[in-house]
């Protein structure tokens, strides 16, 4: 086998193995977070200050945050009335967050502005015709 072909195959195989390893490690990290954090549900009440946002703050829009010492998962939520529409792009430690029990509305208070989101939903979704 010629040396060039050998190195080409070797590096191709190495790239595939590295890619698969990365996917497996990422899957394990996300899986660990889902076991460690509690999902915020419609019947839950939540009022407090965002203490921290996990490094995996945006796994497909899912937010892993700590509020008042409690680890919470907030499903991807967007309101396209805002210039920055995703809650995970606005929220920073120190922001206030409020959600009443048996309500799907989440209110985020960031830089003296009140933002409204629906848990796990996109609201005011714009279509191509709206632009």
Q: Would you state the pLDDT for residue 53? A: 86
Per-domain residue ranges for the chain? 1-36, 39-130
pLDDT tens, per residue, the chain with 131 residues: 688 888 888 899 999 999 999 888 877 877 777 788 888 888 999 999 999 887 554 456 677 888 988 998 888 888 888 888 888 889 999 999 999 999 999 999 999 999 999 988 888 876 655 55
Residues contacting 97, CB < 8 A, separation 6+? 46, 47, 48, 49, 50, 67, 91, 106, 107, 108, 109
Q: How far is CA 51 from CA 20, 35, 102, 119, in A?
A: 34, 19, 24, 20
pLDDT confidence of residue 116: 93
Q: Return the pLDDT at 78.
A: 86
């Amino acid at each position: 086998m010629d040396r060039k072909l050998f190195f080409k195959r070797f590096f191709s195989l190495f790239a595939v193995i590295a890619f698969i390893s990365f996917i497996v490690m990422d899957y394990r990290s996300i899986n660990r977070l889902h076991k460690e954090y509690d999902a915020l549900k419609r019947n839950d009440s939540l009022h407090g200050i965002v203490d921290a946002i996990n490094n995996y703050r945006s796994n497909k829009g899912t937010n892993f945050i700590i509020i008042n010492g409690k680890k919470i998962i907030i499903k991807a939520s967007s309101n396209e009335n805002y210039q920055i529409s995703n809650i995970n792009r606005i929220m920073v430690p120190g922001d206030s967050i409020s959600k009443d029990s048996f309500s799907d509305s989440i209110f985020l208070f960031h830089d003296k502005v009140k933002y409204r989101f629906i848990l796990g939903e996109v609201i005011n979704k714009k279509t191509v015709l709206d632009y």
